[in-house]
Amino acid sequence: MFDKLEDILIRFQEILDELNDSAVTSNQERFRALMKEQTDLAPIVEKYKEYKAAKDGIEESLLMLEEESDEDMRELAKEELAECKAKVASCEEELKILLLPKDPNDEKNVVVEIRGGAGGDEAALFAADLFRMYTRFAERNRWKIDMMNMNENGLGGFKEVVFMINGQGAYSKLKYESGVHRVQRIPVTESGGRIHTSTATVAIMPEAEEVDVHIDMNDCKIDVFRASGNGGQCVNTTDSAVRLTHIPTGIVISCQDEKSQLKNRDKALKVLRSKLYELELEKAHSAEAEARRSQVGTGDRSEKIRTYNFPQGRVTDHRIKFTSHRLLEILDGDLYEVLDNLIAADQAAKLANMSEND
């Protein structure tokens, strides 16, 4: 590990030297690439410098204990020695996490697809609750929401809703949300006061750029139709909605949120590109099944991941056996505690897997 850290330290200095070169600053593409690499390496370099300073502190304290006869000074040296040893231990653990392989999609925007599952109208209402939860979480992080498509059920619920969250690191936070979400409560449509269990599925897909996925438009069928649901005159009276069918995979995307047919077509292509990219990721994950087993689930939408129990005010994430009694706060977008525990569990699993392979 420390050989790798020394190499990173050397590389970091090389980047700083290059960034001061006028030939590099005039080459915007090269400059951006170096700035990104510097940003990625900076936390590791900073933590490694802290580690080295603490190691130096241990040596200085030990030397003082050998040479110092004054009892007060020796006590001071012992305190500093204990602090430096604790610092070294904590830095080592943090460096292990910082050196874990980065998910190349972590900094990307995400396409979120929520569908009502088992439970009819109640499932659609729950899908709307999840939609609000994620949009409120996005607002807390100052991320932008871009609606793609929605299919309402008439009671304020969604049979399906698709939207994009634009924000740095959005995928790194939300990638653990893919799967089946389950709710247990008395539905507003229930007259007998019985608790029902309903589900909704969530799919979190990293936004794919054109360089990630090439779409041959000869493989696509595009239909236009009149938008339905809420909207102004232009939305409901012109053929602005777009249905895009990818013939090789059978994937169908509908977008009707914009008044412009061209804008809806562009949005549909974005969603299709992300879905095709997700299919490629799933193939790669299948090929790396052993490594995949050591991680917290981040992609299987058939996996039951979480239950929202209203009678007990409880939210339980089944993958990591985490329970919180802050149900209303979580549904209001305060997902930090849940996501922090998921990230910590995923890092711990990866560290354990790394130790086994060493």
User: Could you report the per-residue pLDDT of 188-200, keeping only the tens digit for each?
Assistant: 877 677 889 999 9
Question: Is pLDDT of 177 > 60?
Answer: yes
CA distance 126 to 284: 32
Rounded to the nearest integer, the mean pLDDT of the chain is 86
Domain 110-348 grouped into CATH 3.30.70.1660 = yes
Domain 2-98 adopts which CATH fold? Methane Monooxygenase Hydroxylase; Chain G, domain 1 (1.20.58)
Most confident stretch, 138-147, 241-250, 257-266 = 138-147
> Where exactly does CATH 3.30.70.1660 map onto the chain?
110-348
- 0.75 cut: is pTM over it? no
Q: Is the pLDDT of residue 256 over 90?
A: no
Q: Which regions of the chain carry the CATH code 1.20.58?
A: 2-98
297, 303 Cβ separation under 8 angstroms: yes
pLDDT at position 357: 60
- Whether the predicted pLDDT of 291 surpasses 50: no
Q: How confident is the model at residue 202 (pLDDT cuts 50, 70, 90)?
A: very high
| Rounded to 5°, angle at Cα 213 from 239 and 220 | 35
- Which has the higher per-residue pLDDT, 277 or 308? 308
pLDDT at 190: 73
Using the predicted structure, report yes or no on whether residue 119 has a pLDDT greater than 90.
no
CA proximity to 296, closest of 200, 206, 174, 182? 174
Count CA atoms closer than 13 A to 287's CA, side-chain side: 6
pLDDT of 180 over the 50 cut: yes
Residues 6+ apart with CB under 8 A from 315: 306, 307, 308, 309, 323, 324, 325, 326, 327, 330, 338
- Integer CA distances (angstroms), 259 to 52, 143, 222, 238, in order: 59, 23, 17, 8
Q: What is the mean pLDDT of residues 108-130?
A: 92
Using CA atoms, how far apart are residues 222 and 267, in angstroms rounded to an integer? Answer: 13
Span 80-100, pLDDT tens digits: 999 999 999 999 988 988 888
